[in-house]
Amino acid sequence: MRADRVIRALSALAQDHRLTAFRLLVQAGEEGIAAGVLAEMLDIAPSSMSFHLAQLANAGLVMQRRESRSIIYSADYAAMNGLMGYLTENCCGGLPCCDDAACLPAAQRRSA
């Protein structure tokens, strides 16, 4: 992962509502959560939630899809793992960490 992408991702997560929303999306797995539901969960206005989700999407941390009249957001696990990998690539004295440390959606963990 390039440093400019890391900076953009960390900047997006450096805000309480965005960090909380991202954590909820990670917990939700690949099914994701509708933007309106996220706004209700965080008790913020839908327009504010849309702004925060746009920031997360611009940082490459979330994906979106349309289902009927709703926009469903889900965490981009590859981007999240890339960010975590960048942050931890020199941990353990530079020795590679165990491969099973990568984070996967719950559904993939059960089938792996």
- What's the pTM value of the predicted model, to 2 decimals? 0.81
Q: Which residues contact 59 (CB under 8 A, 6 or more apart)?
A: 5, 8, 9, 11, 12, 13
How many domains would you assign to the chain?
1
The closest of 83, 85, 74 to 108, measured between CA atoms, is: 74
Instruction: Tell me the CATH number at 51.
Output: 1.10.10.10
b (16+ CB within 10 A) / e for 46-73: eeebeebbebbeebbbbbeeeeeeeebb
| Domain that includes residue 30, residue range | 3-111
Q: Per residue in 32-89, pLDDT tens?
A: 999 999 999 999 999 999 999 999 999 999 999 999 999 999 999 999 999 998 988 8
Q: Per residue in 6-29, pLDDT tens?
A: 999 999 999 999 999 999 999 999
- Distance separating alpha carbons of residues 3 and 25, to the nearest angstrom: 24
